[in-house]
């Protein structure tokens, strides 16, 4: 009986870990907008927040330095994917409508299904076809522009959200594929990747140091990195390491609920009926992605 309870707890921990991460990610837009309101733009926020997280990450990398030699190219790919995912998400959530950005980001179950099939040999079923159709239908409904008559994302924030969702799925597939690399090392690589991509973006964009409201703004960004980002990243890494890709992608959809509720309470943003309908189709595609995994478990 005790062993059964322990097994059940081990199965539950990845789920709880992902729910915690989804809740925090669904709320992270608010402190980011507060920082932007005090002069710290998205790229600088990303650099400071993840550079702060990378300080304890450097210790983790040093302790696991032997693992870096096992998959140098793969870990570099993970760093770049995680870097683009997080930086583009931050920019999208600051410039776009919270719910719309989250919905487009959460096309990730579609990408996870395809990438899991290509990279992890996870089987495709009829449900996978349903996932594709529903997800694409959701994008068409959400993004249809009556004047321009095109069914693809309309603004820069939309494209950033879609690309963020794709690289998020790709990074999660890599995390799961590199089962011989410890979670601490993969986590540290992720943090360094985000800081690196943000730094490169700032460098090539020739974006200077911003004039913020006071030193406390920098301190707040550092605190966000040390506490929120560390907890969120570790939670995601743990959850996706011990769970099939499609299932973890679906559980993380809880971020949509948190983001939708918090944005309605804390902002004056209005989500159109068309966007809600598209969102329902995208959420339905995630459900079928989960069913596909349940029929053919790992």
The Cα 212–Cα 74 span in angstroms is: 37
Q: What is the pLDDT of residues 163-211, one digit of tens each?
A: 998 898 888 888 888 888 988 899 899 999 999 999 999 999 989 999 9
Is residue 178 a contact partner of residue 75, using CB atoms and an 8 Å limit?
yes
The Cα 134–Cα 203 span in angstroms is: 40
Is residue 157 a contact partner of residue 95, using CB atoms and an 8 Å limit?
yes
Residue 71 gets which letter from DSSP? Answer: S
What's the pLDDT band for 99 if we cut at 50, 70, 90? confident
What's the pLDDT band for 148 if we cut at 50, 70, 90? very low
CA separation, residue 96 to residues 101, 157, 159, 169, 233 (Å): 6, 5, 10, 21, 23
The Cα 82–Cα 28 span in angstroms is: 17
Percent of the chain past pLDDT 70, that is, above it, reads: 79
Q: What is the pLDDT of residues 104-132, one digit of tens each?
A: 887 776 777 777 777 777 666 666 667 66
CA separation, residue 231 to residues 28, 223, 281 (Å): 12, 12, 31
Domain that residue 147 falls in = 2-295
Percent of the chain past pLDDT 90, that is, above it, reads: 33
Average pLDDT over residues 41-56: 95
Residue 151 or 6, more confident: 6
Is residue 51 a contact partner of residue 225, using CB atoms and an 8 Å limit?
yes
How many domains, the chain? 1
């Amino acid at each position: 009986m005790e062993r059964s309870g322990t097994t059940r707890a081990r199965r539950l921990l990845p789920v709880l870990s992902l729910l915690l991460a989804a809740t925090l990610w669904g709320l992270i837009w608010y402190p980011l907008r507060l920082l932007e309101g005090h002069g710290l733009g998205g790229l600088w926020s990303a650099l400071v927040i993840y550079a702060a997280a990378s300080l304890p990450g450097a210790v983790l990398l040093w302790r696991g330095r032997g693992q870096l030699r096992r998959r140098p190219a793969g870990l570099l790919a993970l760093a770049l994917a995680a870097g683009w995912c997080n930086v583009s998400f931050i920019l999208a959530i600051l410039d776009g409508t919270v719910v719309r950005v989250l919905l487009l980001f959460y096309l990730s179950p579609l990408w996870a299904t395809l990438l899991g099939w290509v990279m992890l040999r996870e089987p495709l079923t009829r449900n996978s076809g349903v996932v594709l159709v529903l997800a694409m239908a959701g994008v068409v409904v959400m993004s249809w522009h009556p004047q321009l008559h095109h069914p693809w994302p309309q603004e820069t924030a939309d494209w950033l959200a879609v690309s963020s969702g794709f690289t998020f799925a790709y990074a999660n597939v890599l995390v799961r594929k590199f089962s011989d690399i410890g979670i601490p090392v993969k986590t540290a690589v992720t943090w360094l990747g985000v800081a690196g991509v943000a730094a490169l973006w700032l460098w090539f964009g020739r974006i200077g140091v911003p004039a913020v409201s006071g030193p406390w703004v920098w301190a707040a960004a550092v605190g966000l990195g040390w506490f929120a980002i560390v907890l969120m990243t570790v939670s995601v890494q743990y959850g996706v390491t011990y769970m099939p890709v499609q299932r973890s992608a679906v559980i993380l959809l809880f971020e949509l609920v948190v983001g939708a509720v918090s944005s309605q309470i804390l902002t004056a943003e209005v989500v159109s009926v068309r966007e809600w309908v598209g969102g329902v189709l995208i959420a339905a595609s995630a459900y079928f992605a989960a069913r596909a995994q349940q029929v053919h478990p790992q």
